[in-house]
Structure 1
Amino acid sequence: MHIINARLRNREGLHDLHLENGRIASITAQTGVPTLMAGDLDAAGNLVIPPFVEPHIHLDATLTAGEPRWNMSGTLFEGIECWGERKATITQEDTKARAKKTIQALAAHGIQHVRTHVDVTDPDLTALKAMLQVREESTHLIDLQIVAFPQEGIESFRNGRELMGEAIRLGADVIGGIPHFEYTRDQGVSSVKFLMDLAERTGCLVDVHCDETDDPHSRFLEVLAEEARSRDMGARVTASHTTAMGSYDNAYCAKLFRLLGHSGISFVSCPTESIHLQGRFDNFPKRRGVTRVNELLEAGMNVCFGQDSIVDPWYPLGNGNILRVLEAGLHICHMLGYRNLQNALDLVTDNSAKAMALGDRYGLQAGRPANLLILSADSDYEVIRSQGLPLYSIRNGKVLMKRQPAQVEFM
């Protein structure tokens, strides 16, 4: 297959992509007028990019909003309570059905790489066992990383450490944590040291829900970053949310950023969910409740955006469209300046792939998997402005999904 008239990010002119045996055989600058052969695709001057990446979602909890009750306060903590009640009733079949429905929605919006956090504070590990099956049964649509996520704590949940170890033995890819939810600061610190020890022993990646609170005294990020720095594990470690950073004073942040830069860790922000959950204890003014996305980027750190939730106890909306989250995040984080808009797709593509350590399994380069999208616009700016969905999603060199643009006729 050839894709002709393709516009590539950060390159001039149009290009021809040759896909063969499930891989990108070559990418060449076009000269003259190309011929469209049977089986080829014409990008018509639109952007061709690697697939969108979802670096942070909870597929085990998806599509459970209102079950058994709604989160009336809109807080993170009531969401955890609601999920605890729903978790008591889940089955593997229930979990698989909901997760697969959401994966289809993600794939329909051009996402082919997903990292899902799965609650392992369950003696039976029901959701984890279901998601391990989903990972194998969904390879035609996505590549799935599974995080062993201790929703109710490692130290504060009975047998939390043992459950984390068992989750990794069963096949989870990534080790999670939630230090700010442990009963005490000492427990939070010990949970970070435990999970980093486990990651070092097993070779797993790390993705920690870290300081997801407005409390400016929640400072487990410095603990995680120093553990990553001292063990030389930064490339394998992601700090998710870090919303407390939005409440830190600037003097502390100036010191913290030095450590973060040396650590080499990545960051995931889920802006639509954070602005919904945080600031709930404020009257006015109300804080935005997101981390310092633009400041981290300007300091040279790797930051990406995730959806976090789709119709669950923490967030009642969502449809799998990460461009919706990207646009909202740019607004929320004051990132609608010219330079921000020229590179905005990094936040849902390359930066996310780096956080997930996809390496040479991702990207438009000869020899890499022929996984890519043909978008409906010719630049980052126009993709965001128009919110145009992908026209084609190609996976392993074959068309996975195609979309007809909406037609409007005035009468």
Structure 2
Amino acid sequence: MVSVFTNGRLRDGRSVDLTVDHGRIVAVDDHGPGRDALGATDLGGRLLLPPMAEPHAHLDKALTSEAVPNPTGDLAGAIDAWIAADERGVFTYDDMVARVDEAVRKLVLNGVTAIRTHVNAGGGAGTWHLDATRDAMSNWSDRVDAEFVGLVHTPIVGPGSDDNVAALRACAEGGALVGGCPHLEPDGAAAIDLALALAGEFGVPIDLHTDETLDPSMLTLPVLARRVIDTGFTGRVAASHCVSLGMQPPDVQAEVARLVAEAGIGIITLPQTNLFLQGREQATATPRGLTAVAALRDAGVVVAAGADNVQDPFNLVGRSDPLETAALLVMAAHVLPDDAYEMVSNAPRTLMGLEPVHFAVGDPAEFVAIDAPSVRAAIADAPADRLVVHAGRVVATTSTTRTIC
């Protein structure tokens, strides 16, 4: 079905009309008088931007800040609070479905058309979090592309690992990405080898929580890179967090970044949650808890950014808006606005195996039209007025009225 979107504005200032057919842009024409065809969607001169993507969510935990308070505010406190609540039976299947539904609703309204969510598995709970999250997201399948990652409890190697490995295997067999936390394992290299083996067996990608610590002595990212290179693994691989890389001297950052680029690993930095969780014990010159964004990008690594947790014990706030993440990249990672927007749009799409959007003929008909004069202004003001298009059709709109009385 052919659709026409008129009077959109590209970043270079050109006003254009987009013709869309079967989810693809088939024409990009200058906007002019008489081009507003009957049935066309008038974009009202809004700025056209690639759709945003959330490459690292925890939808099963979302919106639980009130139910699961974090008394210490740090990572250990969040983990302890979550485990205690889980053991008390605070969470039910229906509750999780409802929370995931609301979290996805917020993301889509803000311009997100692709989500990768990590979901807890193992630890005696099996895969019910994954089942509930998938149930909730099935209602959004025509509005957003989704990937699921089995975030298995530790350990997955050594004593006490059998149930966790079984849960991870079940997740991968069902098409979920292989997840985990090798830096928390008794043998990180063995855990990485198992993750690669399972991903290869079931033909799924990998996304590992990696080095989420300020301790510079803990650095498993180069181990992951070398194992990917040595095994010849050809699937998609992402490493999330990679906080300790940011604590290394420049020469180490550069060498690890070179290895990561050679391995073809994508990196996902998570400023919202890591700025909240990391560095509380260091009152002087408090580190930022971010990875070595500049060194990685200089080496040619695809670096994406996500929110991680939203309004839960791991991050008490968050608007489910990637423009919030982009603003933090500008302020805390010294990334310029255009690059920051790329890190919350086309970069995560690439890591998710989706095509980037540049508003060329043949591109996916995916975009957000936002009421802002520039990318910088969009990040700075985060205007609520947005129109979101996925697979060639409008899937969300927000219009506001502001009045001074």
Question: Which amino acid counterpart does residue 379 of structure 1 have in structure 2?
Answer: S
**Matches of 1:120 and 1:159 in 2, distance apart?**
10
Correspondences of 1:115-194 after superposition (within 5 Å)? 115-123=116-124, 124-155=126-157, 157-169=161-173, 171-182=174-185, 184=186, 187-194=187-194
- CA pair 390-27 structure 1, distance change in 2 beyond 3 A: farther
> SS where residue 159 of structure 1 aligns?
helix
Mapped pair 1:347 → 2:348: no
**Matches of 1:311 and 1:216 in 2, distance apart?**
29
Q: Deviations over 1:133-159 (max 9, x none)?
A: 223232133221100111444236552
Aligned length: 398
Give the TM-score taking structure 1 as reference length.
Answer: 0.90
**Matches of 2:72 and 2:149 in 1, distance apart?**
27
Question: Which amino acid counterpart does residue 7 of structure 2 have in structure 1?
Answer: N
Q: Which residue does the alignment assign to 2:43?
A: 43
Correspondences of 1:1-400 after superposition (within 5 Å)? 1-9=3-11, 13-20=14-21, 22-30=22-30, 32-68=32-68, 70-88=69-87, 89=89, 90-123=91-124, 124-155=126-157, 157-169=161-173, 171-182=174-185, 184=186, 187-233=187-233, 236-335=236-335, 340-359=336-355, 364-367=359-362, 369-400=364-395
> SS where residue 118 of structure 1 aligns?
strand
Q: Deviations over 1:339-361 (max 9, x none)?
A: x223331011110101111237x
Q: CA RMSD in A?
A: 2.1
**Matches of 2:25 and 2:333 in 1, distance apart?**
39
Structure 1: any 5+ residue segments left out of the alignment?
none
CA contact (8 A) 1:116 1:145 kept: yes
The percent identity for this pair of structures is 26
Structure 2: any 5+ residue segments left out of the alignment?
none
Shift of 1:29: 3.2
- CA pair 405-116 structure 1, distance change in 2 beyond 3 A: same
Shift of 1:12: 6.3
Q: Deviations over 1:295-336 (max 9, x none)?
A: 22222211111011111111111121111111022101122x
**Matches of 1:371 and 1:327 in 2, distance apart?**
22
Shift of 1:366: 4.0
Shift of 1:251: 3.1
